[in-house]
Amino acid sequence: MQYYSLNNQSPYVDFKVATINGQAPDKGLYFPKSIPQLSKNWIDDIENKNNEQIAFDVIKPFVGDVISTVDLQKIVNETINFEMPLVKITDNIFSLEMYHGATLAFKDIGARFMSRCLTHFVKDSKKKVTVLVATSGDTGGAVANGFYNVEGVEVVILYPSGKVSSVQEKQLTTLGSNIKALEVNGSFDDCQAIVKQAFLDTEINNHLFLTSANSINVARWLPQQFYYFFAYKQWKQLYKTEPIVSVPSGNFGNICAGLLAKVSGLPIKHFIAACNANAVVPNYLVTQKYEPQKAIPTISNAMDVGNPSNFVRIMQLFQHQFESVKNNITGYKVSDDDTRKTLLEVYKNEKYLLDPHGAVAYNALQDYLQKNLTEKGFIVETAHPVKFYDVVEPIIKEKIILPYAIEEIMHLPKKSILVEANFEEVKQILLSNTV
């Protein structure tokens, strides 16, 4: 498989180079030259395949021959070695629980896969790799966990001060070792802008071997397809109809992976991009005008993104045809008040506890199904509610029991460097012995 830059000013590369580079030299996102197609027979037989075989079959065409079959199977097996159940909430709404992994978030899949691929690629390199990543919440913890103590790799995570949950902050600031956290006095968009500027800076790139672990990296983005296939396998055992899938959407890597799976042949009827007040894409789907905005803080903080990086990939998937995009995605904007109301109602009436991002997805799907009464669907529940206990507990007026993995880090001291939303300040840290 070859990859090209969506800026169309860089040469084609293979999966290995695309993973190591993160972005193309022209700073465009890498995109596969062709979209592999899964046969109808393969889809029809999905119930008889185990998850390891499904994931391997899905990812193998994207990887090509740069990783051996044996090594790729090992990477896949280690990536998906936790439960991803489809749980019934109501008669027509299910939840795909993506929080049973190491850091209790869906990003464990992408971060695990990428960390293992990158480790495989650089194991014989004499040059240390610096993974530079911006996070609005869960990416930081998942990347930190995935790369912790990996020899030859340094990780630098930028996160917006006061705009991630206390649990998320502990997950990305308490490991130490080769994991460095920069607490930025600004928004996620500020963090993302600094990271993008670092990749453009000649001096930094002359001194450091930089790569990215955000979903702009193909090794983070592509494996997110896995759980849509796992969900469909479970769905197919229950219903003959194709599901509606509601995805909490911030930087749009997650829903983009689902749409890629759909284009590859996965029978998903329709996607819902469930957004909070940061509704650039839902607005586009109504007005056909894409207008980035300054990020607005909300209680579903991982979706506080005013200029989603991955939306350009979605446009490419559908050849920049507005009607094709609109036929596959419906956008919703859900307020904080409606998020709180939904979270409480589902907990009281259905005895199911959503996290704030799942509540946004549930609200959007519920509204969609009320207008399409013959349909059923599922939300992607992207994180365990405990990661947002400081938001959830005041809503339900109950304490959430801390899983052991969280309880053991909450007393650990935070290790971070407080910086302004200023590229030059971050640049000096990157070039100093601090990293």
pLDDT tens profile 275-312: 999 999 999 999 999 999 999 999 998 899 999 999 99
Determine, yes or no, domain membership for 64: no
Give the tens place of pLDDT for each residue, 182-233: 999 999 889 989 998 998 899 998 888 888 877 789 999 999 999 999 999 9
The alpha carbon of 314 is separated from its chain's Cα centroid by a whole number of angstroms, namely 14
End-to-end CA, the chain: 34
Average pLDDT over residues 177-181: 93
- 224 is written with which tokens? 């997110």
pLDDT in the model for residue 315: 97
Q: What is the pLDDT of residues 310-338, one digit of tens each?
A: 999 999 999 999 999 999 999 999 999 99
Is pLDDT of 435 > 70?
no
- What is the model's pLDDT at position 258? 98
What DSSP string describes 314-335? HHHHTTT-HHHHHHHEEEEE--
| 252 found inside a domain | yes
Query: What's the CATH code of the domain at 101?
Result: 3.40.50.1100
Q: Percent of the chain beyond pLDDT 70?
A: 99
Average pLDDT over residues 424-428: 94
**Domain that includes residue 364, residue range:** 83-106+221-396
Q: Which residues pair with 181 in a beta bridge?
A: 157
Considering the domain boundaries, does residue 246 fall inside one? yes
Non-local CB neighbours of 311 within 8 Å, separated by 6+ positions: 252, 256, 280, 281, 290
Does the residue 356 lie in any domain? Answer: yes
Tallying the residues shown for the chain, one arrives at 435
Q: Which residues contact 411 (CB under 8 A, 6 or more apart)?
A: none
Residue type, 79: T
Which tokens sit at 267?
A: 């029978």
The average pLDDT across 43-65 equals 97
The reported pLDDT for the residue numbered 27 is: 86
**Lowest-confidence pick of 142-146, 153-157, 402-406:** 402-406
Q: Is 93 contained in some domain?
A: yes
Q: Which residues contact 368 (CB under 8 A, 6 or more apart)?
A: 244, 246, 272, 330, 332, 375, 377
Please determine, for residue 394, whether its predicted confidence score (pLDDT) is greater than 70.
yes
**What's the mean pLDDT in 351-374?**
97
Q: Is residue 52 part of a domain?
A: no
Cα–Cα dist 424/51, whole Å: 46
92-144 pLDDT, tens digit each: 999 999 999 988 999 999 989 998 998 888 877 777 789 999 987 778 888 88
Q: What is the pLDDT of residue 33?
A: 97
| C-alpha separations of 123 from 53, 116, 126, 302, 312 in Å | 26, 10, 8, 32, 32
Structure tokens at 21: 């580079």
pLDDT value, residue 34: 96
3-state secondary structure of 414: coil
Total domains present in the chain:
1
Q: Indicate whether 385 pLDDT > 80.
A: yes
- pLDDT at position 433 is 58
pLDDT for 434: 52
In a domain, 137, yes or no: no
Q: Residue 145: which pLDDT band, with cuts at 50, 70 and 90? A: confident
Euclidean distance between CA atoms 18 and 429, whole angstroms: 26
